[in-house]
Structure 1
Amino acid sequence: MRWWLMLPRAVRAGYSSGNHKPCLNGTREGVLCDIEAWEAGKINELVYWLKGVAGCGKSTIAQTFAERSAAHGNLGASFFCSRDYPDRRNLHLIFPTLAYHLAYFSANFKTALVSIIRANPDVQHDALHIQLEKLLVRPFKQTGLSATIVVDALDECEDREPVSEFLSALAAHIDTIPAVKFFITGRPEDRIRSGFKLPSLRTKELPLHDVESAIVDSDIKSFVKTRLDEVAARRRQSISGQWPSDRDIATILKKTAGLFIIASVIVRFIDSPYASPQKRLKLIVDLPDSTIYEGKGKSGVDVVYHQILSGSFEDADENDPDFLGQLHLVVGSIVLALNPLSQSASDPIRILHKSFADFITDQQRCLDGRYLINALTHNSELGVRCLKLMKMKLMKNICRLPPYVMNDDVKDLPARRERYIGSALSIIKLVRDFLAQHLLSWLEVLSIEDIYYVAIYSLRDLVLWLNNSPAQDLLDLIDDCERFVLRSFDGIKQSAMHIYHSALSWAPTTSRTRILYEHELVHETKLLNAVGTTWDACIRIFPVGEKARAIVFSQKGPLIAARGSFWVKIFDTMTGANRATFHEDTLINSITFSPDDNFLATGISGGTLNVWDVQTGTLFRTLKSDTQKVYAVSFSPGGNMIAAGGSNGTIQIWNILSGGCDYKSHHHSAAVNSVCWLGDEQVVSGSSDGTVRIWNVQQTHCSSICARYPTRVTDLASSRGSILVTSADGTRKIYDSQSGDIIHTMSEDFTCCRLSVNGDKILVASKNSGFIWDLTSKTKVQSFGYNGDGAMFSPDGTYVASIYGKFLKIWKTQTGDEVQGPFTDLLNEEIDDIVCAPDGRLVAFEFKYCRWRVLDMTTSHSLFPFVDRIESVAFSLTFVAFLRVYFNGQFNTREVEIWNTHIPRLHRTIKVDNNVLNIALSLDDSRLVSLSSNCVKLWDLETNECLAHLDYNGYLPMNGRVSFASDGASVSVEHDGRPNRWHISPASHINRTRPFIRNNDDTKTKLGMVFVPIAEKQSNQDAPRQSYRCDKDGEWMLDQRSRRILWIPPDERPRESKMHRRMVIVETESGKKYAVIPPSS
């Protein structure tokens, strides 16, 4: 198996894909010679950064160098980024694509790569630094291979993750592969420049704008003259005399201001097949003189772009509002669209260069309002048109997928995606209609495209977009849709079809999303007592993989860190994506994020404090403490210092950048358990000696003792001059840091207590609930419910996280408690049998002594509460039939009562034999079949007449069952797992065509119908099947063929489960019981 082919990769990202042209022969030689000298030399600089402003020719130079390097046998792989292509702007595809190309470059590399992919088949989903280590570093180290790697236009990767993360990952491993050199180009933007500043990256930089202007002008002049001479040669019939003139070349050279992109744009404009080259050249050279790049509308490239726009539409009425509207729509869509607009991946409609997009969307540069594209207005227009298109095109099961199927199991999913989805898919009304009619189909597409996370961010952006809208009902609907997406995030991400098989089933009965799409719910698998009537406060549950000891939110809120004894894992709070994992050799006692979320510090029992880079997952700095164990760590508000407290009572403060210890104190007589900051100049410490001390960092002494306790101080928090102190006896007090006065005291048993960002509220959590206390009014202003351990609030107090087994739960503090389902008492009594209506609306349960209850699953009401003995229950689409037993002395009689389920009333009664055990109704409401100990009878529901009679060979046991086929044309009898089937045929037809079929009883031959045996084909169906069950992780309910028929949310997964009769009884870790009723086989 070609394992390396499993790697996802960007298409046409290599230098040989024809996306870029090389430099004209004889141009850029100085720069290229410098790059080639770097490649050939034995120097410490393993990274070459070619930087420069837009349009200075970086990509052309990268293309030329890649071609030359390949010709010398040095180029191992290349990746030319482009914001116009989703795969080529995706940071997570760079390393897999490079590894794929390197596998073709070196057979030894391929061999090493295959073994790594076989052991890590999901490596493409790992963080960037893990991808780099597995896909490139390991194979390079194993093979000792030397190679050059080219990455062009790194700045064009999307901003979902910082581009500096790519460089940070490279910096962490570059020293381990000294035979590999990286050539990288990009604009000198802040998000890239910060990455190249990492000292371990050891970068050689060449700013293109620092190359001597005379050299650049000479190269541009050669380029322009050569290209225009080619135009003249091709179009000699329309060009006379010397063209272009030396003056024309000199004028163009002056206008380019040293930028190749301007020269390229001018040449393309002149060479248009729709106009005279001479006329267009005259338009350019007649422009006012200009030499400054991006001159805010008055010179340089801005003037060139404006003149070209005007010249391109010289025959149109540029003052016509219809023309301008169409111009804005077309050009704006090309400029602002995230994806190219052509259906052909090899020939997209896209802008020539990003500088044009920058120009036409900047009102300070594009001074002619006729051409200016207002990004905000145009994005709104694009959004409206996208909604209209999706409203027309989206549908359930858009890719025609089989039921229950997992996305990864659909071999032709890319082809289906291309065929059925393609590339194209008052605002309030459009949004409301879209969510009410096409939400699930949209989620299908996102799941199939493996970008399901987009649903979360899109819905949140929608709320911001409609923030000032008076349509509160629409905002409530969006919130409900977001809850639906988050609740079943992991299940839908794996299988688009489980939107209908699972996600809707787990939505509360009053959820607006569920109500809107109840008709889409697949009722084959039913849940009993599993869901409440409203959403609870929990909005997201995601796996950690191990039991965490503590959790902490990042300062800005989008990340959450969970720590175990020797590890720390960082997750995205909404998507649950694992951003980084750190491992320590000794016990971790404390963790904290830096204010900018870029670093995380761990205090460990080895007496050290480690600072980790969150983006790359690598160790940034190790700080050695004077104590044996570090119990507490805290970053200063500015993020440049970090304080730590240890087991010997020491307080130390380090400078993060230099690594030097700026402050040290031993005033505590026992261990320091907690530290926090009051601004950038004061640190508060709480100790087992019972004191809370405030330290002045600048004056290097303890300025005051804020409080004394008879027991140890276990935790501290500060906000806006207030200090929250928790002691070992459970008492919590809030102090004014200036006066030392007690502001508030709380003595209840809480697991977590935090001050709000403004310092005016206390956020409190106990074992199963939480509330917010207003310090000004001294009142409880809000309550919320949750469960789990180790509660921790987000910085803004809007979320609380808790540890739930091997999962993390995120709760919303503005949401009420969950309302449990109406059937809780049902599972406390032994259930003997279950019968479901065909549409899933009604379910009948049998208890001891033949007592039955029929429940309406949509209204939670109990119907038909019969007292008399009921032997069997059957459903059709309209009716429910009860086989009732009447005792009369030593005898009993039996009759079947047919009730209308929509208007609960008796429809008909049929007297049957006294030994009837089981009954069934046909779906079309026309017939009843009864099974006794020795015969089967068919009844007409309109006339009460017996239509057919079959003597059954042998005596049927009490567990025999009879049923109709879905088309009503045949019946089957099953007992002890063995089915027998008969076709129902008119007696006249059978007697005429098959005279050998006879009945011994003359009365039976007079019936209108007969049962004709159906010979069963021998097949593998006779092989034993497994019963319905949960998989080993409890995430999926499996059927007899091991298909995943139901996804189970983490907090609903079984501590234990058992098959009872025809349902699976599940008991969760919290002690909740519910039932899963599988489809009828």
Structure 2
Amino acid sequence: MRNSLKNLKRIFKKKYRGKSDESASRINTASPDTSLQSVGPPPNPLVSPPASIPHKHRKTESKVAAGNNDTWANLVAFSSLLHQNPLLAPLARAMDELSWYIQAQEEIITAHEEYKELHTQLEALFKDLRLHFSTGSPPAMTTSMLNLLRSGPSYESYTELQKGARYLAYCKRNGTWTKLQDATDAYKIISSESWWVLMSRNICIGPYQPHAKLNATLNILRIVDKQATEAQLRQLHSSMSARYNSAEAHIVQRRECTPNTRTQVLSDLNAWKNNPDGQKLCWMSGMAGTGKTTITNTLCSTLDRDYELGASFFCTRSLPACRDIKLILPTIAYQLARFSDPFRGALLQVLDRDPDVHTKVLRVQFQHMILEPLQEVRGSLPTNLTIVIDALDECDDGNGVEQILEVLLENVSQLPVKFLVSSRPEYHIRDRIGKSTRKTQVTLHELDEKIVKADIETYLRAELAFLSIPFTEEQLEELLERAGVLFIYAATAVRYIMDPKGDPLERLDAVLQAPTPGQELSNKTKIIDGLYEAVLTSALGDPGLERSEKQRMELVLHTVVCAQEPLTIDALAGLLCLRSTWVATALRPLWSVLHVSGPDSSDRVNMLHASFPDYMLDPSRSKQFACIAALHHGKLAEFCLRRISQNTPQFNIGRLESSYIFDEDVPEIDDRVKKAIPLDLLYACQHWAAHLCLGESSDERATTHVYDFLSKRLLLWMEVLNLTKRAEMSIGLMEQTVSWLRGTGCSESTVLLAQDARRFTTMFATSPVSRSTPHLYVSMLASWPEHKPIAHYFTRKSVELARFKGIETTERQFGLLSSIPAGPDVGCVAYCSNGRFFAASTGDGQIIIWDAASCRMAIDPIRAHHKPVQAIAFSPDGTRICSGSHDKTLCVWDVENGQLVAGPLQGHISPIRTIDYSPDGLWLVSGSTDGTVCIWSTETWKQKGNALSEPGQNVYSVAFSPDSTTFAVACYSVIYIWNALRRQKIGHPLEGHTGYIISLAFLLDGNHLVSGTDTCTICIWDTTSGQIVFGPFHEHTNNVSDLKVSPDGHFMVSASFDNTIRIWNAQTWQSRTIFRTTGVVNSVAFSPDGLRLVSGSSDGTVHIWEVESVPEEQLTVNQLNGHNSWIRSVSFSPCGTYLVSGSYDKAKHEYWVLSVGVSTDSEHIFSVPEDKSIRVWSKRTGELEYTIGPIEST
């Protein structure tokens, strides 16, 4: 390309210079800039001359154009291809101008030999470009070019490119090519290096790209860009099975409406979709069985055919990936990226900036993955683009459903797309969306009953037309009467009647003879209940069934109803210890209510409709057929644990040969894992804890199964989860197990084993060693402290396992779960009352909120204060977080989106050091170094009266009592108790400290208060008598920076500038254990369940600790006290049994001890004091044996 462009310049340069003398006296024309103002967009190149060309030139131009179509065939084809895509309009216009310029100059230079060579090169170039562009937008067009075309700088580039071409076209149209100035100006334009660079750049081959490498370059760009794009889109972890026409659609029996049915509803939905002035959100609601999914499926098919379906997400309880609320927005973003190239480019920019955006709270997901990209590319999208979310009520997380609806209602009016949401009219959905005026609503069970019944009649006639003996009109009328307005009744009846395993007419009679339920509007479930009862009576009431056959049928049926995800026939057989043929036989009579996706035993078994498990799990409806959920979940927990225990092998299930290779690098690892871990084993490993917790709180047999699992099968279970990339799941499952065991009254040893297992799984799942499953044994188990239960039960079975030994293993920091870098100097940490989030404030004025389960940032950091944030606190309902800063202001933020709710609130004239919410959520109190305390109403965010003042005294800490009636204020070394409502002091000040009181905390009884000072002391006060009842305690060696009481009141935690955190027993006030950090600990906070502790340090780190990691009886771990001054030197004995230290306290010496050591036989100790001597001591007696020196240096 570079050579071709240079040749073209050289040809024109010679030609124009050759004519310069001849044209010297010609009249000048207008300047290029002036001329451009009157030049309009040219027509298609090399087809017909522009309308503005003088009439006398038109015939000639037409001939040139016609003649050039043959010689420039690839240029014509490439330019025509660009005109077919509106997004390439700027490039197409530039190519038009170039085409006009070529045909204008062809008369002048066709005789030149170099022109012929250039013509050949350029035609080959345009052929390559045409072929690459005809396969779809080239790679750069998706993520770079399309965005470039729509941004400001790109238009400047194109303007420069078009200026040159348009000026040349202007000169040609006005017939002034013989004028010297025209020729000179034209030469200046086309010889400009920047013009040629712009032209080469804007045909997507890069500046100065050699033509010989063009094909290779474009192919490489296409492949590399496609791979990078696919990798980024895969990061979204979208649900492929949730698309309306996914491969799993047949598993859950999604189908379209029978022709000529539901026409009115579909017409209404299409009218809504096509109305440019209508609401952007439509809610289609309907009770179970009214045909919502079939209607939305039909609409999706129509939208897809018309290229108006942006995305679809069909929720269903039957598939885990389709009931996870967290997958809806990533899936919509993924499908939109597949639909629209410009959207894909905008989304990829978001993922470049924040690869983890899909893991954040739903509001942040929506803003960054949906709202912002759609707004950016709105001009490129079809007018009626629609996104469909079906059966939203079938998602697991009701709170998440409310959040989805909230962000839709708030933002949908700003979007260039429409949303159709369907669901049952559940209360939490109805309350959010039903009252909104920003939506169109279609309520299926309130449609004209005649129209619905006519549709059902059409459906029944079409489906029953294949009966061997035609049904009578009377039978049809009776069936219609029973169906009422429920399509699910008609669909279930058809499946039951048409089942090839039975006689259709007998089954039709069975349906029609079922007891007719009442038709009260208040209980329409009775309509479908009657049909389900008839089906189950036919299946389970067959007199020919053996008792064992009936029991197997009930077992399989109840398992399908209670299963956490659909299972195959083989998996059901493996889990329930049955033969596959028995399971298949048990399912056959139930095919009208259960769906098997195919004849193979590897196909999954599903409920036909969500109303069936509702029926089965409600004993008042299903009566003798009821599945008692708690009872059956308990059985399934035992089946799961038994399946794990019976697996062969129990060790190295993946047959991995080496720990030196990551799992992902093992050849054919996916096939190996699939063969080693069948679906029933994987199901058991994933869901045993869920069944355990959903079951009845249990008998001794269940706890025995759990104990057996924890003491014998834990590592096999971890292997399975790690090999299937589900290691993080183990953390939550062990949390559930510990909670369940506490409620059973089992032995303390079992609980301790479960707690140790929880820590073991957490550390492995969050550690890099999990990338290689063998390291579960060679690293994790080998280094686990010998006195811990996991080591006790598993290392003795691993005879050949190498063990790590020594003090680093036995005295490791055992409470630390995770360390998170937060920023400069973490000033304060807080835990949300619902356990979903924890937060930290930093020295640069930021507030960072993390998701407590994943330890990932939930929203972008909140940046508002321009000075350090010293205090933060979550509101009791967990929806707000308040911050107090050195900039003297308070701000209140929405936890979900980080938006400012109130503030900045001004009431202090000095930095704010402390804040606290009242437990009832009505008040917030703040304290400042100006000696003032402000009480704020959380409803109006106005002060209650004037600020309370303690002139000349810094307020470092405030704390509300548990009943919200009083609060304590620490001013220098004195504590004042205030009545929150009357704003009056209560009783006498609490005095006794000699330094600044930095932290306060009430005990749960409200009568006792804990205080910590900068003199390393902690005291417990009786607020009624004003006396210290426990303490002072001096365990810390530096300022006591923070105090918190556990939610159950059993423990108190203290943080200190000595880099330690101590946990205290609130009954005995003994220090229970100690955690050490690498920086000054400024703040601590308990999780709501009291099992976790979060701390913030001056080194910018937030630590997550496990409070229960150390047994109750263990006090401060191996803290050796003896010296009363700095320790200068320490040394271990070679035998490893004792430690020697030397200090500046001159113990047994007249001078400071600079160094100590131990002899090779561990019997003698050496010390080097400041007098330059070496002293030798007996290890046994501690007496000085002899002295060497003093030794003088030379």
- Structure 1 residues 118 and 536: alpha-carbon distance in aligned structure 2, compared to 1, 3 A threshold: closer
- Separation of aligned partners in 1, 2:1116 and 2:499: 67
What root-mean-square deviation, in Å, do the aligned CA atoms of Structure 1 and Structure 2 show? 4.3
What is the aligned partner in structure 1 of residue 345 from structure 2? Answer: 111
- Offset of 1:421 from its aligned partner? 1.9
What is the aligned partner in structure 2 of residue 554 from structure 1? Answer: 832
What is the aligned partner in structure 2 of residue 682 from structure 1? Answer: 965
Q: Percent identity?
A: 25
Query: What whole-Å deviation, never above 9, does each CA across 1:600-652 have from its counterpart, x for those lacking one?
Result: 32233455544444445555555633335544333332335544445656655
Aligned AA for 2:752? D
Give the counterpart of 1:14 among 233, 243, 247: 243
Q: Is the 8 A contact 1:129 1:617 kept in 2?
A: no
- Offset of 1:376 from its aligned partner? 1.7
What is the aligned partner in structure 1 of residue 497 from structure 2? Answer: 270
Confirm or deny that 1:722 pairs with 2:1007.
Answer: yes
Q: Is the 8 A contact 1:691 1:706 kept in 2?
A: no
Q: Is the 8 A contact 1:803 1:809 kept in 2?
A: no
- Offset of 1:98 from its aligned partner? 2.0
Q: Is the 8 A contact 1:296 1:365 kept in 2?
A: no
5 Å-filtered alignment, 1:788-867, equals 788=1077, 789-790=1081-1082, 792-794=1084-1086, 799-803=1092-1096, 806-812=1101-1107, 815=1111, 816=1114
Confirm or deny that 1:451 pairs with 2:764.
Answer: no
What is the aligned partner in structure 1 of residue 397 from structure 2? Answer: 159
Confirm or deny that 1:302 pairs with 2:529.
Answer: yes
- Structure 1 residues 480 and 681: alpha-carbon distance in aligned structure 2, compared to 1, 3 A threshold: closer
What is the aligned partner in structure 1 of residue 567 from structure 2? Answer: 341
Q: Is the 8 A contact 2:652 2:719 kept in 1?
A: yes
What is the aligned partner in structure 1 of residue 920 from structure 2? Answer: 638
What is the aligned partner in structure 2 of residue 510 from structure 1? Answer: 787
- Separation of aligned partners in 2, 1:45 and 1:645: 48
Q: Secondary structure at the match of 1:365?
A: helix
Aligned AA for 2:848? K
5 Å-filtered alignment, 1:72-471, equals 72-118=306-352, 120-144=354-378, 145-146=380-381, 147-159=385-397, 162-167=400-405, 170=408, 174=412, 177-189=414-426, 192=429, 196=433, 203-204=438-439, 206=441, 208=443, 211-212=446-447, 215=448, 217-235=449-467, 237=468, 239-240=469-470, 242-243=472-473, 245=475, 247-254=477-484, 258-292=485-519, 299-316=526-543, 322-342=548-568, 347-368=603-624, 371-393=625-647, 395-401=650-656, 403-407=659-663, 414-425=670-681, 426-466=701-741, 467-468=743-744, 470-471=746-747
Q: Secondary structure at the match of 1:726?
A: strand
Confirm or deny that 1:483 pairs with 2:721.
Answer: no
Structure 2: unaligned runs, 5 residues or longer: 1-223, 572-595, 682-700, 1120-1128, 1137-1159, 1163-1194
What is the aligned partner in structure 1 of residue 946 from structure 2? Answer: 665
- Separation of aligned partners in 1, 2:650 and 2:785: 24
Aligned AA for 1:753? L
- Separation of aligned partners in 2, 1:638 and 1:453: 36
Q: Is the 8 A contact 2:730 2:765 kept in 1?
A: no
Q: Is the 8 A contact 2:757 2:790 kept in 1?
A: yes
Aligned AA for 1:96? P
- Offset of 1:330 from its aligned partner? 0.3
- Offset of 1:30 from its aligned partner? 4.7
What is the aligned partner in structure 1 of residue 1032 from structure 2? Answer: 746
Give the counterpart of 1:770 among 1050, 1055, 1062: 1062
- Offset of 1:349 from its aligned partner? 0.5
Aligned AA for 1:10? S
- Separation of aligned partners in 2, 1:262 and 1:124: 39
Aligned AA for 2:553? L
- Separation of aligned partners in 2, 1:241 and 1:172: 53
- Structure 1 residues 575 and 76: alpha-carbon distance in aligned structure 2, compared to 1, 3 A threshold: closer
Q: Secondary structure at the match of 1:780?
A: coil
- Structure 1 residues 81 and 173: alpha-carbon distance in aligned structure 2, compared to 1, 3 A threshold: same
Q: Secondary structure at the match of 1:332?
A: helix
- Separation of aligned partners in 2, 1:443 and 1:636: 44
Which structure: larger Rg? 2
- Offset of 1:66 from its aligned partner? 2.3
- Offset of 1:337 from its aligned partner? 0.8
- Separation of aligned partners in 2, 1:35 and 1:282: 38
- Offset of 1:810 from its aligned partner? 0.5
- Separation of aligned partners in 1, 2:792 and 2:1031: 46
- Offset of 1:797 from its aligned partner? 5.2
Q: Is the 8 A contact 2:1062 2:1074 kept in 1?
A: yes
State how many pairs are aligned: 814
- Structure 1 residues 715 and 97: alpha-carbon distance in aligned structure 2, compared to 1, 3 A threshold: same
- Offset of 1:335 from its aligned partner? 0.8
Q: TM-score, normalised by structure 1?
A: 0.67
What is the aligned partner in structure 2 of residue 780 from structure 1? Answer: 1069
- Separation of aligned partners in 2, 1:619 and 1:161: 22
Q: TM-score, normalised by structure 2?
A: 0.61
Q: Is the 8 A contact 1:691 1:705 kept in 2?
A: no
- Structure 1 residues 760 and 315: alpha-carbon distance in aligned structure 2, compared to 1, 3 A threshold: closer
Between 1 and 2, higher relative CO (CA 8 Å, sep ≥ 6) is seen in 1
Give the counterpart of 1:702 among 984, 989, 1003: 984
- Separation of aligned partners in 1, 2:667 and 2:377: 34
Give the counterpart of 2:864 among 580, 585, 603: 585
- Structure 1 residues 428 and 755: alpha-carbon distance in aligned structure 2, compared to 1, 3 A threshold: closer
- Offset of 1:341 from its aligned partner? 0.6
Aligned AA for 1:802? S
Q: Secondary structure at the match of 1:502?
A: helix
Query: What whole-Å deviation, never above 9, does each CA across 1:567-601 have from its counterpart, x for those lacking one?
Result: 33344556544444532232322111232334332
- Structure 1 residues 322 and 606: alpha-carbon distance in aligned structure 2, compared to 1, 3 A threshold: farther
Q: Secondary structure at the match of 2:374?
A: helix
- Separation of aligned partners in 2, 1:684 and 1:183: 51
- Separation of aligned partners in 2, 1:598 and 1:341: 39
Q: Is the 8 A contact 2:998 2:1042 kept in 1?
A: no
- Structure 1 residues 562 and 4: alpha-carbon distance in aligned structure 2, compared to 1, 3 A threshold: same
Aligned AA for 2:841? R
Query: What whole-Å deviation, never above 9, does each CA across 1:733-763 have from its counterpart, x for those lacking one?
Result: 5556667676556363544433455668655
- Offset of 1:693 from its aligned partner? 5.5
Structure 1: unaligned runs, 5 residues or longer: 832-841, 843-864, 868-1081
- Structure 1 residues 516 and 148: alpha-carbon distance in aligned structure 2, compared to 1, 3 A threshold: same
5 Å-filtered alignment, 1:931-1010, equals none
- Separation of aligned partners in 2, 1:171 and 1:817: 55
Aligned AA for 1:726? S
- Separation of aligned partners in 1, 2:1049 and 2:711: 41
Aligned AA for 1:280? R
- Offset of 1:340 from its aligned partner? 0.8
- Offset of 1:191 from its aligned partner? 5.4
- Offset of 1:129 from its aligned partner? 4.1
